[in-house]
Amino acid sequence: MTLLAEGTPVIVDCPESNDFKLRAEDLDAAITPKTKWLIFNSPSNPTGGAYSSHDELKALTDVLLKHSHVYVMTDDMYEHLVYDGFEYVTPAQVEPRLYDRTLTVNGVSKAYAMTGWRIGYAGGPKDLIKAMAKVQSQSTSNPCSISQAAAVEALNGDQSFLQERNAVFKQRRNLVVDMLNEAEGISCITPEGAFYVYPSCAGCIGKTTPPNSPNGGKVIESDEDFVTYLLESEGVACVHGEAFGLSPHFRISYATSTEALTEACKRIQRACAALQGEAKAA
Ligand SMILES: Cc1ncc(COP(=O)(O)O)c(C=O)c1O
Protein backbone atom coordinates (compact mmCIF):
# COMPACT_ATOMS: atom_id res chain seq x y z
CA MET A 1 0.00 0.00 0.00
CA THR A 2 2.89 2.33 0.81
CA LEU A 3 4.54 1.60 -2.55
CA LEU A 4 1.24 2.21 -4.31
CA ALA A 5 1.20 5.66 -2.70
CA GLU A 6 4.79 6.13 -4.00
CA GLY A 7 6.26 5.96 -0.52
CA THR A 8 9.12 3.86 0.80
CA PRO A 9 8.02 1.31 3.37
CA VAL A 10 10.43 0.95 6.30
CA ILE A 11 9.88 -2.15 8.40
CA VAL A 12 10.83 -1.78 12.05
CA ASP A 13 11.43 -5.07 13.89
CA CYS A 14 9.05 -6.03 16.69
CA PRO A 15 11.11 -8.88 18.20
CA GLU A 16 9.77 -11.90 20.07
CA SER A 17 12.04 -10.96 22.98
CA ASN A 18 9.83 -7.87 23.38
CA ASP A 19 6.60 -9.88 23.00
CA PHE A 20 6.54 -8.83 19.33
CA LYS A 21 6.18 -5.17 20.26
CA LEU A 22 7.85 -2.08 18.84
CA ARG A 23 10.58 -0.56 21.04
CA ALA A 24 10.72 3.19 21.46
CA GLU A 25 14.44 3.36 20.61
CA ASP A 26 13.91 1.41 17.38
CA LEU A 27 11.06 3.70 16.36
CA ASP A 28 13.18 6.75 17.11
CA ALA A 29 16.11 5.38 15.08
CA ALA A 30 13.86 4.60 12.09
CA ILE A 31 12.39 8.10 11.79
CA THR A 32 14.06 10.44 9.27
CA PRO A 33 13.06 13.90 7.98
CA LYS A 34 11.36 12.04 5.10
CA THR A 35 9.14 9.93 7.36
CA LYS A 36 5.45 10.62 6.79
CA TRP A 37 3.56 8.01 8.80
CA LEU A 38 3.85 5.42 11.50
CA ILE A 39 1.45 2.58 10.73
CA PHE A 40 0.62 1.14 14.13
CA ASN A 41 -1.48 -1.93 14.96
CA SER A 42 -2.41 -3.13 18.45
CA PRO A 43 -3.53 -5.84 19.17
CA SER A 44 -1.58 -7.10 16.23
CA ASN A 45 -2.21 -9.31 13.28
CA PRO A 46 -0.20 -11.63 13.03
CA THR A 47 1.34 -11.86 16.52
CA GLY A 48 -1.50 -10.92 18.88
CA GLY A 49 0.96 -8.56 20.61
CA ALA A 50 -0.70 -5.60 22.32
CA TYR A 51 0.52 -2.55 24.22
CA SER A 52 -0.79 -3.33 27.64
CA SER A 53 -0.34 -0.17 29.61
CA HIS A 54 -0.47 3.55 29.36
CA ASP A 55 3.28 3.67 30.13
CA GLU A 56 4.22 1.17 27.47
CA LEU A 57 2.40 3.14 24.78
CA LYS A 58 3.57 6.48 26.24
CA ALA A 59 7.18 5.53 25.42
CA LEU A 60 6.14 5.40 21.75
CA THR A 61 3.94 8.50 21.78
CA ASP A 62 6.83 10.42 23.41
CA VAL A 63 8.97 9.55 20.38
CA LEU A 64 6.21 10.73 18.03
CA LEU A 65 5.83 13.98 19.97
CA LYS A 66 9.51 14.70 19.32
CA HIS A 67 9.02 14.27 15.56
CA SER A 68 6.25 16.71 14.75
CA HIS A 69 6.22 15.92 11.01
CA VAL A 70 5.17 12.29 11.52
CA TYR A 71 1.51 11.26 11.41
CA VAL A 72 0.24 8.06 13.01
CA MET A 73 -2.25 5.73 11.43
CA THR A 74 -3.50 3.48 14.19
CA ASP A 75 -5.28 0.30 13.16
CA ASP A 76 -7.53 -0.45 16.16
CA MET A 77 -9.31 -3.36 14.49
CA TYR A 78 -8.85 -5.73 17.46
CA GLU A 79 -9.56 -3.22 20.25
CA HIS A 80 -12.35 -5.38 21.72
CA LEU A 81 -10.46 -8.65 21.42
CA VAL A 82 -8.28 -8.56 24.52
CA TYR A 83 -7.88 -11.00 27.42
CA ASP A 84 -6.72 -11.38 31.02
CA GLY A 85 -8.07 -8.03 32.22
CA PHE A 86 -6.09 -6.16 29.56
CA GLU A 87 -7.07 -2.50 29.29
CA TYR A 88 -7.08 -1.32 25.70
CA VAL A 89 -5.63 2.12 24.86
CA THR A 90 -5.06 3.90 21.56
CA PRO A 91 -2.18 6.38 20.98
CA ALA A 92 -4.22 9.63 20.89
CA GLN A 93 -5.84 8.63 24.19
CA VAL A 94 -2.42 8.31 25.83
CA GLU A 95 -1.09 11.50 24.23
CA PRO A 96 -3.89 13.92 23.25
CA ARG A 97 -1.28 16.23 21.70
CA LEU A 98 -1.08 13.70 18.85
CA TYR A 99 -4.78 14.03 18.13
CA ASP A 100 -4.35 16.41 15.18
CA ARG A 101 -2.01 14.04 13.38
CA THR A 102 -3.72 10.75 14.15
CA LEU A 103 -5.80 8.73 11.72
CA THR A 104 -7.75 6.06 13.61
CA VAL A 105 -8.96 3.16 11.49
CA ASN A 106 -11.29 0.41 12.53
CA GLY A 107 -13.96 -1.88 11.14
CA VAL A 108 -16.69 -4.36 11.98
CA SER A 109 -14.94 -7.42 10.50
CA LYS A 110 -13.42 -8.82 13.68
CA ALA A 111 -15.26 -7.83 16.87
CA TYR A 112 -18.65 -8.21 15.19
CA ALA A 113 -17.63 -11.09 12.88
CA MET A 114 -18.98 -9.08 9.91
CA THR A 115 -16.05 -9.64 7.52
CA GLY A 116 -18.32 -10.13 4.51
CA TRP A 117 -20.16 -6.84 5.02
CA ARG A 118 -16.97 -4.97 4.04
CA ILE A 119 -17.22 -1.98 6.37
CA GLY A 120 -14.18 -0.13 7.65
CA TYR A 121 -14.16 3.41 8.98
CA ALA A 122 -11.72 6.12 9.94
CA GLY A 123 -11.54 9.23 12.08
CA GLY A 124 -8.92 11.92 11.60
CA PRO A 125 -8.13 15.49 10.62
CA LYS A 126 -10.93 16.97 8.52
CA ASP A 127 -8.82 17.75 5.45
CA LEU A 128 -7.39 14.25 5.39
CA ILE A 129 -10.82 12.60 5.68
CA LYS A 130 -12.14 14.91 2.96
CA ALA A 131 -9.28 13.90 0.65
CA MET A 132 -9.87 10.21 1.46
CA ALA A 133 -13.57 10.59 0.62
CA LYS A 134 -12.64 12.23 -2.68
CA VAL A 135 -10.34 9.35 -3.66
CA GLN A 136 -12.87 6.75 -2.55
CA SER A 137 -15.82 8.36 -4.29
CA GLN A 138 -13.95 8.16 -7.61
CA SER A 139 -12.54 4.65 -7.12
CA THR A 140 -14.73 2.24 -5.15
CA SER A 141 -17.64 4.77 -5.01
CA ASN A 142 -19.01 3.76 -1.59
CA PRO A 143 -19.74 0.82 0.66
CA CYS A 144 -23.32 -0.37 0.10
CA SER A 145 -26.00 1.28 2.20
CA ILE A 146 -27.26 -2.04 3.61
CA SER A 147 -23.81 -2.79 5.04
CA GLN A 148 -23.59 0.73 6.44
CA ALA A 149 -26.91 0.31 8.25
CA ALA A 150 -25.83 -3.09 9.61
CA ALA A 151 -22.54 -1.63 10.87
CA VAL A 152 -24.39 1.20 12.65
CA GLU A 153 -26.53 -1.43 14.41
CA ALA A 154 -23.44 -3.43 15.39
CA LEU A 155 -21.67 -0.39 16.84
CA ASN A 156 -24.71 1.09 18.63
CA GLY A 157 -26.31 -2.17 19.74
CA ASP A 158 -25.92 -4.15 22.96
CA GLN A 159 -22.21 -4.91 23.42
CA SER A 160 -22.53 -7.44 26.24
CA PHE A 161 -21.90 -10.41 23.94
CA LEU A 162 -18.30 -9.19 23.48
CA GLN A 163 -17.37 -10.27 27.00
CA GLU A 164 -18.98 -13.69 26.67
CA ARG A 165 -17.37 -14.26 23.30
CA ASN A 166 -13.96 -13.15 24.60
CA ALA A 167 -14.17 -15.73 27.39
CA VAL A 168 -14.50 -18.43 24.70
CA PHE A 169 -11.65 -16.92 22.65
CA LYS A 170 -9.47 -16.90 25.74
CA GLN A 171 -10.12 -20.61 26.35
CA ARG A 172 -9.26 -21.35 22.73
CA ARG A 173 -6.11 -19.24 22.90
CA ASN A 174 -4.96 -21.09 26.03
CA LEU A 175 -5.77 -24.47 24.49
CA VAL A 176 -3.77 -23.68 21.34
CA VAL A 177 -0.80 -22.19 23.22
CA ASP A 178 -0.65 -25.19 25.60
CA MET A 179 -0.93 -27.78 22.85
CA LEU A 180 1.65 -26.03 20.66
CA ASN A 181 4.11 -25.82 23.54
CA GLU A 182 3.74 -29.61 23.90
CA ALA A 183 4.74 -30.08 20.24
CA GLU A 184 8.39 -31.02 19.78
CA GLY A 185 10.43 -28.09 18.44
CA ILE A 186 7.65 -25.49 18.83
CA SER A 187 7.54 -22.67 21.37
CA CYS A 188 4.68 -20.25 21.68
CA ILE A 189 4.20 -17.17 23.83
CA THR A 190 0.73 -16.22 25.07
CA PRO A 191 -0.55 -13.15 23.21
CA GLU A 192 -2.75 -10.56 24.90
CA GLY A 193 -5.14 -9.81 22.07
CA ALA A 194 -6.55 -10.47 18.58
CA PHE A 195 -7.22 -14.12 17.66
CA TYR A 196 -3.82 -15.24 16.46
CA VAL A 197 -0.85 -17.06 17.92
CA TYR A 198 2.59 -16.72 16.38
CA PRO A 199 4.69 -19.71 17.48
CA SER A 200 8.35 -20.23 16.67
CA CYS A 201 9.31 -23.36 14.74
CA ALA A 202 13.06 -22.77 15.25
CA GLY A 203 13.29 -26.20 16.90
CA CYS A 204 12.10 -27.90 13.69
CA ILE A 205 14.42 -26.15 11.24
CA GLY A 206 17.18 -28.52 10.09
CA LYS A 207 15.14 -31.67 10.74
CA THR A 208 14.04 -34.02 7.94
CA THR A 209 10.49 -35.01 6.97
CA PRO A 210 9.71 -38.73 7.54
CA PRO A 211 10.18 -41.05 4.52
CA ASN A 212 6.48 -42.03 4.43
CA SER A 213 5.24 -38.40 4.24
CA PRO A 214 4.18 -36.86 0.85
CA ASN A 215 7.54 -35.09 0.43
CA GLY A 216 9.59 -37.57 2.46
CA GLY A 217 13.26 -37.03 3.24
CA LYS A 218 13.16 -33.27 2.72
CA VAL A 219 15.14 -31.01 5.08
CA ILE A 220 13.01 -28.29 6.72
CA GLU A 221 15.02 -25.17 5.86
CA SER A 222 12.51 -22.42 6.67
CA ASP A 223 9.12 -21.63 8.18
CA GLU A 224 7.68 -21.92 4.67
CA ASP A 225 9.01 -25.49 4.39
CA PHE A 226 7.53 -26.21 7.82
CA VAL A 227 3.99 -25.00 6.99
CA THR A 228 4.16 -26.82 3.63
CA TYR A 229 5.02 -30.01 5.53
CA LEU A 230 2.05 -29.46 7.88
CA LEU A 231 -0.26 -28.93 4.92
CA GLU A 232 0.98 -31.88 2.88
CA SER A 233 1.34 -34.40 5.67
CA GLU A 234 -1.56 -33.48 7.97
CA GLY A 235 -3.85 -31.14 6.01
CA VAL A 236 -3.27 -28.29 8.49
CA ALA A 237 -3.06 -24.82 6.90
CA CYS A 238 -1.03 -22.07 8.61
CA VAL A 239 0.63 -18.92 7.26
CA HIS A 240 4.43 -18.89 7.33
CA GLY A 241 6.14 -16.08 9.23
CA GLU A 242 8.26 -14.89 6.34
CA ALA A 243 5.05 -13.62 4.70
CA PHE A 244 4.84 -11.18 7.63
CA GLY A 245 8.57 -10.43 7.69
CA LEU A 246 9.37 -12.30 10.91
CA SER A 247 10.86 -15.81 10.80
CA PRO A 248 11.08 -18.59 11.87
CA HIS A 249 7.44 -18.46 12.94
CA PHE A 250 3.99 -19.32 11.66
CA ARG A 251 0.55 -17.88 12.31
CA ILE A 252 -2.51 -19.73 13.47
CA SER A 253 -5.93 -18.09 13.75
CA TYR A 254 -7.99 -19.50 16.62
CA ALA A 255 -11.22 -17.92 15.35
CA THR A 256 -12.68 -21.37 14.72
CA SER A 257 -14.28 -24.16 16.74
CA THR A 258 -12.58 -25.72 19.77
CA GLU A 259 -12.99 -29.14 18.09
CA ALA A 260 -11.22 -28.03 14.92
CA LEU A 261 -8.42 -26.40 16.93
CA THR A 262 -7.91 -29.47 19.12
CA GLU A 263 -7.72 -31.71 16.06
CA ALA A 264 -5.35 -29.32 14.25
CA CYS A 265 -3.01 -29.05 17.25
CA LYS A 266 -2.98 -32.86 17.65
CA ARG A 267 -1.96 -33.15 14.02
CA ILE A 268 0.76 -30.51 14.46
CA GLN A 269 2.08 -32.44 17.48
CA ARG A 270 2.07 -35.65 15.45
CA ALA A 271 3.84 -33.98 12.50
CA CYS A 272 6.52 -32.49 14.77
CA ALA A 273 7.11 -35.81 16.55
CA ALA A 274 7.59 -37.52 13.16
CA LEU A 275 10.40 -35.19 12.06
CA GLN A 276 13.81 -36.83 12.09
CA GLY A 277 17.33 -35.73 12.99
CA GLU A 278 18.52 -32.71 14.92
CA ALA A 279 17.33 -29.12 14.68
CA LYS A 280 19.89 -26.56 13.50
CA ALA A 281 19.27 -24.46 16.59
CA ALA A 282 19.90 -27.45 18.91
C1 LIG B 1 -5.12 -5.45 11.78
C2 LIG B 1 -6.11 -5.57 10.68
N3 LIG B 1 -6.62 -4.44 10.15
C4 LIG B 1 -7.50 -4.48 9.15
C5 LIG B 1 -7.94 -5.67 8.62
C6 LIG B 1 -8.92 -5.61 7.47
O7 LIG B 1 -10.10 -6.24 7.66
P8 LIG B 1 -11.26 -6.08 6.59
O9 LIG B 1 -10.60 -5.98 5.26
O10 LIG B 1 -12.08 -7.31 6.72
O11 LIG B 1 -12.01 -4.86 6.97
C12 LIG B 1 -7.44 -6.88 9.13
C13 LIG B 1 -7.86 -8.17 8.55
O14 LIG B 1 -7.25 -9.20 8.69
C15 LIG B 1 -6.51 -6.82 10.20
O16 LIG B 1 -5.99 -7.93 10.73
Burial of 232 (0-12, 13-18, 19+ CB in 10 A): middle
Q: Whose CA is nearest to atom 2 of ligand 1?
A: 77
Q: Whose CA is nearest to atom 3 of ligand 1?
A: 77
The number of the ligand 1 atom at minimal distance from the alpha carbon of 115 is: 10
Domain region containing 40 = 16-156
Ligand 1 in reach of 120 Cβ (< 6 A): yes
Q: Could you tell me if 123 and 231 lie in one domain?
A: no
Q: What is the mean pLDDT of the chain?
A: 96
Does residue 282 form part of some domain? Answer: no
Q: Mark which of 118, 134, 156 sits at the end of a domain.
A: 156
Q: Mark which of 102, 136, 156 sits at the end of a domain.
A: 156
pLDDT of residue 282: 55
Cα gap 198→211, rounded to integer Å? 28
Cα gap 234→110, rounded to integer Å? 28
| 220, 208 Cβ separation under 8 angstroms | yes
Ligand 1 centroid, distance to 216 Cα (angstroms): 37
Which pTM does this prediction carry?
Answer: 0.94
Is residue 226 pLDDT above 80, yes or no?
Answer: yes
Ligand 1 in reach of 109 Cβ (< 6 A): yes
Query: In total, how many domains does the chain have?
Result: 2
Q: Whose CA is nearest to atom 4 of ligand 1?
A: 77
Cα gap 125→101, rounded to integer Å? 7
pLDDT of residue 52: 82
Percent of the chain with pLDDT over 70: 100
Ligand 1 in reach of 75 Cβ (< 6 A): yes
Q: Could you tell me if 247 and 267 lie in one domain?
A: yes
Choose the residue to mutate in 75, 79, 82, 118 for probing ligand 1, maximizing ligand atoms within 8 Å of C-beta: 75
